[in-house]
């Protein structure tokens, strides 16, 4: 059985930059691992420490804030 560690990453991404960049990665067909789940916010400033802590509490191995 393959027990290689696969991190689960939660990303908070700004609608205007990082989310757009993730869209563009798609348009450009760039390939990357399917480990991250993106949450769109209207600005990375919306993300408070509470959100990050809650993500880690809920089982995320890593949190990315992109903005």
User: Which residue in 22, 62, 64, 66 binds other proteins (CB under 8 A)?
Assistant: 22
Q: Is 40 helix (H, G, I), strand (E, B) or coil?
A: strand
Name the nearest CA neighbour of 39 among 60, 24, 29: 60
User: Which residue in 7, 17, 23, 62 binds other proteins (CB under 8 A)?
Assistant: 23
* Backbone Cα Rg of the chain: 13
User: Which residue in 7, 17, 45, 62 binds other proteins (CB under 8 A)?
Assistant: 45
Q: How far is the CB of 37 from other proteins (least distance, A)?
A: 4
User: Which residue in 2, 3, 5, 31 binds other proteins (CB under 8 A)?
Assistant: 31
- Which residues are CB-contacts of 61 (< 8 A; sequence separation ≥ 6)? 7, 8, 9
Number of residues that bind other proteins (CB under 8 A): 36
């Amino acid at each position: 059985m393959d027990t290689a560690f696969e991190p689960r990453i939660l990303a908070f991404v700004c609608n205007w930059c990082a989310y757009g960049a993730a869209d563009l990665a798609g348009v450009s067909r760039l390939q990357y691992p399917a480990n991250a789940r993106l949450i769109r916010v209207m600005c990375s400033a919306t993300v408070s420490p509470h959100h990050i802590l809650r993500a880690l509490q809920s089982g995320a191995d890593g949190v990315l804030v992109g903005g």
